[in-house]
Structure 1
């Protein structure tokens, strides 16, 4: 089950209170630049508030999906109505769609969540879609006290299972192939997964869906039939069915009543491939077919994933080299944790790490434990520098890229290859391996005296 934003915030507030964290946090402060001083082996950080920080070790936990993307069409600054980005939703006011003409641009993970809510009260909703996604039902529901008691009772078994699973989820791929069972058995399994909550419809199914194109297409046919069942207008249903990628090769959005939303009289779907937006105007948007006026525009246009947030900071390492320049043709890392030429800088949740392809908090947890021990050693042993060896970095980066090259994921345009960002090089930026093997590798490297790191 997925928690809503207020519940998540309450949890963070409680953790901050429990561990007295606020005294160690500077809020509303953005880091603009980081420069490594080779004489003192210290980083100097410049912030938007003008305050300078000096640190021996920097851990960049900037997040995979934290740098919002905006439409490439010009003129947004001319628009006179309300506009919001789903990743920058205002927390200090309530956004009211009632009686308004609203445009939502984007039908990815956040788009499929906001579209049904807007449609409930808007006078008219126009959805601009570039690429349809294989969205599947979330099946979320409130949890009773009895539910929570049962969940808590299962913690002793649950947490070790999460740490040992492929991607940090309770769901695991079925080792049985879909081609090794009867059609009736396979269809029954798909129906069972369809009616189950969460990721059962993805990583809880036959494992050959992840690597066998024909097996995946059969599952896509099943999902397409569900979309056609849920959408009344056949032409609209076909617009909502992906034709250019297989299931799971892009982020899989989980939705509630998303497809049924298009059965409402006040909802219209516009394909940006057929009718692209040329520019924003004072009253709305100008498309290839003419101007459309809106009272509000909601941008669900995604993120510059994995590398965007880090590249927003002017990071300068040895010999003044910038991280932006080093990564101009794609990221290079060792274990997704360090970058050669940037001593004592550790990356948490960036490119080539396990968190990009799994349960982020659970995948990150074990990496943080390993990283914390290394940072502790830096101070206890009074080390000057820990930095990635360039050869180890090259080998790891090549291994990560090669592992993705022959997969179904390589057949799709996605954030995992940076395809959603204009001008970004098409290079694989996530990590496809299993969590237990990745963690084992980390500890094997430690036992070997931190192989691949230069320590001085």
Structure 2
């Protein structure tokens, strides 16, 4: 194929926007996608009841008022089929599909220093040559399945939530084992509990799950959203969380027990992430306030789940609220009142092995027809480290990051000219499309600057990379997440336990980007 300016890898929310911005800026561009459709996470994760836990209209694109006004989300938190339709609509609406290549899984990306060109190869042997590569591969795109002995011996069906079949699965009358109870797992349980003959939920770590409180968007709300496009866009473009939620201003320690109780009830009945974004300012910093909120949640769970022993297993014992990424649920706790559903605590009853027809634990063998792996992802760096990226002097990205990611602004890494990865590690905290959109905009500005100056390459300096990486690694005290969470890579055996988020937040990212521009890109080398 002919040489192009910008090659984008990944047709998720970030990659689609990157392709759009590259074309609008006058670059020749092409996008490679491993799947056969657009949507990224929302193409692969099509398990029952997969849906947003960010408000639908805050997840979508903001670059076009016409797009905003013509697309109507049906629910506050849209389900996967509607989300996938949205990304297909965007691809068609802006004629992006003509520059997309599907079923094109990237196996290597090698930089030729003499020509300042990247050669990117896909699984079928096709080569693509590009000046700039943007790996918009996402942070949740490499499924993880633990190495439990005997998995290949199982004669039944096995599915990972991140690689769900396009054909719907009929669970009627089947004996199902689900391993994992994170954000995906808690959505599946109530979705299939009424169909199965039996569902065993294997839980490793309990989470503080609270109601999603989804509902349809009314006609009046649709009209209001359309009328307020500009103000909503401006708010989302500057919000530290990437949500429309008002910033918290209250401290629990300054209110009475009665006032806090009333506030906790409001939180419990509020939508999605408001439990984190519109809570007390001291919710994650004052242990007493956090413990009181957890006790409130525990009280709710015990009132819902009729079996006291099951209720206790569903309650975390090793962390407070915000110590792990909290799931938001619909009918999850209620599902355990169904006689067909039971909960196994893997700390009490570990799995020994998978057998040909079931699972053996320390309590014995149980037979199953299906195993669902809701066991998460190699977060942050997983996809990037598997692309076969080779920079200057053949430096392997996975070697450069052997002790954890080293980045500048979560966008570039030293030794890899013209290679960008918006939406990857060290980006920010909050609603992903909002901060990855900030990064995409910066990438385009950097490419335009490179072109305008007549340069062939742009590369971050090792000094700038070290400064940002040290800031990320040293800022964990700004985040409530435990180092045992997947936000540090702790769920992947052998992976360095390092900060994969940006605990300093989106505002700091935006300020740093503005500073780089004002300083005429002094953090970069051009040639």
TM-score normalised by the shorter chain: which range applies?
A: over 0.9
Deviation, 1:278, is 1.9
2:368 aligns to what?
A: 294
Determine whether 1:78 maps to 2:153. Answer: yes
Deviation, 1:313, is 1.3
Q: Deviations over 1:335-378 (max 9, x none)?
A: 11100011110111111112xx2111112222211211111222
Report if the CA contact (8 A) 2:479-2:503 is conserved: no
Report if the CA contact (8 A) 1:166-1:172 is conserved: no
Matches of 1:406 and 1:36 in 2, distance apart?
Answer: 37
Summarize the Cα distance change of 1:187–1:451 in structure 2 as closer, same or farther, 3 Å threshold.
farther
Matches of 2:438 and 2:478 in 1, distance apart?
Answer: 28
2:200 aligns to what?
A: 126
1:274 match: secondary structure: coil
Deviation, 1:433, is 2.1
Report if the CA contact (8 A) 1:278-1:287 is conserved: yes
Q: Deviations over 1:71-104 (max 9, x none)?
A: 220222211111111111111x120110111111
1:364 aligned residue (422, 436, 442): 436
Deviation, 1:144, is 3.2
How many residue pairs end up in the alignment? 452
Report if the CA contact (8 A) 1:190-1:201 is conserved: no
1:55 aligns to what?
A: 130
1:378 aligned residue (450, 471, 475): 450
1:274 aligned residue (324, 342, 348): 348
Q: Give TM-score, length-normalised by structure 1.
A: 0.96
Q: Give TM-score, length-normalised by structure 2.
A: 0.84
1:314 aligns to what?
A: 388
Matches of 1:444 and 1:430 in 2, distance apart?
Answer: 21
Determine whether 1:25 maps to 2:100. Answer: yes
1:450 aligns to what?
A: 521
Matches of 2:209 and 2:228 in 1, distance apart?
Answer: 30
Determine whether 1:210 maps to 2:284. Answer: yes
1:198 match: secondary structure: coil
2:311 aligns to what?
A: 237
2:465 aligns to what?
A: 393
Aligned-residue CA RMSD in angstroms? Answer: 1.4
Report if the CA contact (8 A) 1:35-1:317 is conserved: yes
Determine whether 1:305 maps to 2:379. Answer: yes
Summarize the Cα distance change of 1:370–1:444 in structure 2 as closer, same or farther, 3 Å threshold.
same
Deviation, 1:379, is 2.5
Report if the CA contact (8 A) 2:450-2:526 is conserved: no
2:85 match: secondary structure: helix
Say which is worse superposed, 399-408 or 388-397, in terms of deviation: 399-408
Determine whether 1:11 maps to 2:86. Answer: yes
Unaligned runs of 5+ in 1: none
Report if the CA contact (8 A) 1:127-1:269 is conserved: yes
Report if the CA contact (8 A) 1:173-1:207 is conserved: no
Matches of 2:479 and 2:435 in 1, distance apart?
Answer: 22
1:254 aligned residue (328, 336, 341): 328
Matches of 2:284 and 2:229 in 1, distance apart?
Answer: 29
Matches of 1:382 and 1:294 in 2, distance apart?
Answer: 63
